[in-house]
Amino acid sequence: MKLFDVYPINDIEIVKAEGSRVWDENGTEYLDLYGGHAVISIGHTHPHYVERLTNQLHKVGFYSNSVKISIQQELADKLGKVSGKEDFQLFLVNSGAEANENALKLASFYNNRKKVIAFTGAFHGRTSLAVSVTNNPKIVAPVNQTDNVIFLPFNDVEALENAFKEFGNEVSSVIVEGIQGVGGIREASTEFLRKIRFVCDEYNSVFIADSVQCGYGRTGKFYSHDYAGVEADIYSMAKGMGNGFPIGAISISPKLKPWHFMLGTTFGGNHLACAAALAVLEIVEQDNLLYNAEEVGNYLITELKKLPQIKEVRGRGLMIGIELPEELAHVKKELLFKHHIFTGEAKPNTIRLLPALNLTKADADIFLEAFSLELAPKPSKGDKELVQ
Ligand SMILES: Cc1ncc(COP(=O)(O)O)c(C=O)c1O
CATH code of the domain containing 118:
3.40.640.10
Q: Domain end: 266, 286, 306, which one?
A: 286
Model confidence, pTM: 0.96
Nearest to 236 by CA among 78, 99, 79: 99
Same domain, 300 and 221: no
Residue 98 Cα to ligand 1 midpoint, Å, equals 9
Q: Is residue 359 part of a domain?
A: yes
Q: How far is it, in rounded angstroms, from Cα 116 to Cα 214?
A: 21
Q: Domain end: 286, 310, 329, which one?
A: 286
Q: Is residue 8 part of a domain?
A: no
Same domain, 361 and 328: yes
For ligand 1, residues with CB inside 6 Å are 95-97, 100, 123-125, 177, 181-182, 210, 212-213, 238
Q: Is 14 exposed, middle or buried (0-12, 13-18, 19+ CB in 10 A)?
A: middle
Same domain, 251 and 353: no
**How do 312-316 and 319-323 pair as beta strands?**
antiparallel
Same domain, 319 and 187: no
Nearest to 184 by CA among 239, 137, 120: 120
Q: How far is it, in rounded angstroms, from Cα 232 to Cα 217?
A: 16
Same domain, 25 and 120: no
Same domain, 39 and 108: no
Looking at residue 377, its pLDDT comes to 81
For residue 182, give the ligand 1 atom closest to its CA.
16
Same domain, 266 and 340: no
Cis peptide before 348 (omega within 30 of 0): yes
In three-state form (DSSP H/G/I as H, E/B as E, the rest C), the secondary structure along the chain is CCCCCCCCCCCCCEEEEEECEEEECCCCEEEECCHHHHCCCCCECCHHHHHHHHHHHHHCCCCCCCCCCHHHHHHHHHHHHHHCCCCCEEEEECCHHHHHHHHHHHHHHHHCCCEEEEECCCCCCCCHHHHHCCCCHHHCCHHHCCCCEEEECCCCHHHHHHHHHHHHHHEEEEEEECEECCCCCEECCHHHHHHHHHHHHHHCCEEEEECCCCCCCCCCCCCHHHHHCCCCCEEEECHHHHCCCCCEEEEECCCCCCCCCCCCCCCCCCHHHHHHHHHHHHHHHHCCHHHHHHHHHHHHHHHHHCCCCCCEEEEECCEEEEECCHHHCCHHHHHHHCCCEECEEECCCEEEECCCCCCCHHHHHHHHHHHHHHHCCCCCHHHHHHHC
| Order of all β-strands in the sheet with 234-237 | 89-93, 248-252, 234-237, 206-210, 171-177, 115-119, 149-152
Q: Is residue 366 part of a domain?
A: yes
Q: Is residue 387 part of a domain?
A: no
Nearest to 222 by CA among 181, 268, 178: 178
Sign of the Cα pseudo-torsion (210, 216, 219, 224, in order): positive
For residue 246, give the ligand 1 atom closest to its CA.
10
Residue 228 Cα to ligand 1 midpoint, Å, equals 22
Same domain, 257 and 157: yes
Range of the domain at 146: 47-286
311: CATH: 3.90.1150.10
Same domain, 80 and 191: yes
Q: Is residue 265 part of a domain?
A: yes
Indicate which residue's Cα is closest to atom 8 of ligand 1.
96
Q: How far is it, in rounded angstroms, from Cα 73 to Cα 274?
A: 9
Q: How far is it, in rounded angstroms, from Cα 352 to Cα 365?
A: 16
Q: What distance, in Å, lies between the first and last C-alpha atoms of the chain?
A: 58
Q: Domain end: 268, 286, 304, which one?
A: 286
Looking at residue 388, its pLDDT comes to 39
Residue to substitute in 224, 235, 239, 319 for testing ligand 1 pocket (most ligand atoms within 8 angstroms of CB): 239
Q: Is residue 388 part of a domain?
A: no
Q: Is residue 294 part of a domain?
A: yes
Residue 378 Cα to ligand 1 midpoint, Å, equals 38
pLDDT in tens, the chain (388 residues): 999 999 999 999 999 999 999 999 999 999 999 999 999 999 999 999 999 999 999 999 999 999 999 999 999 999 999 999 999 999 999 999 999 999 999 999 999 999 999 999 999 999 999 999 999 999 999 999 999 999 999 999 999 999 999 999 999 999 999 999 999 999 999 999 999 999 999 999 999 999 999 999 999 999 999 999 999 999 999 999 999 999 999 999 999 999 999 999 999 999 999 999 999 999 999 999 999 999 999 999 999 999 999 999 999 999 999 999 999 999 999 999 999 999 999 988 999 999 999 999 999 999 999 999 999 887 765 555 444 3
Looking at residue 385, its pLDDT comes to 46
Looking at residue 386, its pLDDT comes to 45
Looking at residue 383, its pLDDT comes to 53
Same domain, 248 and 110: yes
Same domain, 116 and 184: yes
Indicate which residue's Cα is closest to atom 4 of ligand 1.
124
Q: How far is it, in rounded angstroms, from Cα 68 to Cα 14?
A: 38
Same domain, 198 and 263: yes
Q: Is residue 7 part of a domain?
A: no
Q: Report the number of distinct structural domains present in the chain.
A: 2
Looking at residue 347, its pLDDT comes to 87
Looking at residue 387, its pLDDT comes to 43
Residue 27 Cα to ligand 1 midpoint, Å, equals 31
Contacts of 112 (CB under 8 A, 6+ apart): none
